């Protein structure tokens, strides 16, 4: 696998009440660092993409999305793996409450 650094903007939503920025729910558009920082997301990524997460070069891909890393994996990450990760991330509970004030977020 050959990973070149690619920047992914952190996906945030602004609270309408306190203006605090909150992370959006995990998805296939999330950087792998965001997914790995979430306990459930980490389990999902390791479940389907252990060939990638076990690779010592994985740290270089942490700021990429799984979709960005797939073409650089040399075929080790398949579209089926990406689809399974996408499906399971979508099934995670959504925390749509502001971490600062408790207001419901417009997600």
**Could you read off the pLDDT of 2-57 as tens digits, one per residue?**
444 444 456 788 888 998 988 888 998 999 999 999 899 999 999 999 888 888 88
**Could you read off the pLDDT of 15-26 as tens digits, one per residue?**
889 989 888 889
Q: What is the pTM of this model?
A: 0.74
Q: How far is CA 79 from CA 8, 39, 48, in A?
A: 20, 23, 11
Distance CA 62, CA 67 (A): 12
Q: How far is CA 25 from CA 17, 20, 41, 58, 75, in A?
A: 19, 16, 10, 22, 28
């Amino acid at each position: 696998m050959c990973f070149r650094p690619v920047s992914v903007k952190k996906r945030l939503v602004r609270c309408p009440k306190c203006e605090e920025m909150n992370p959006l729910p995990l998805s296939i558009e999330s950087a792998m660092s965001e997914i790995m920082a979430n306990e459930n997301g980490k389990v999902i990524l390791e479940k389907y993409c252990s060939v990638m997460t076990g690779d010592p070069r994985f740290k270089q891909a942490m700021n990429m999305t799984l979709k960005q890393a797939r073409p650089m994996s040399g075929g080790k990450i398949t579209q089926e793996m990406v689809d399974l990760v996408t499906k399971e991330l979508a099934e995670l509970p959504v925390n749509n409450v502001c971490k600062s004030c408790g207001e419901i977020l417009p997600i």
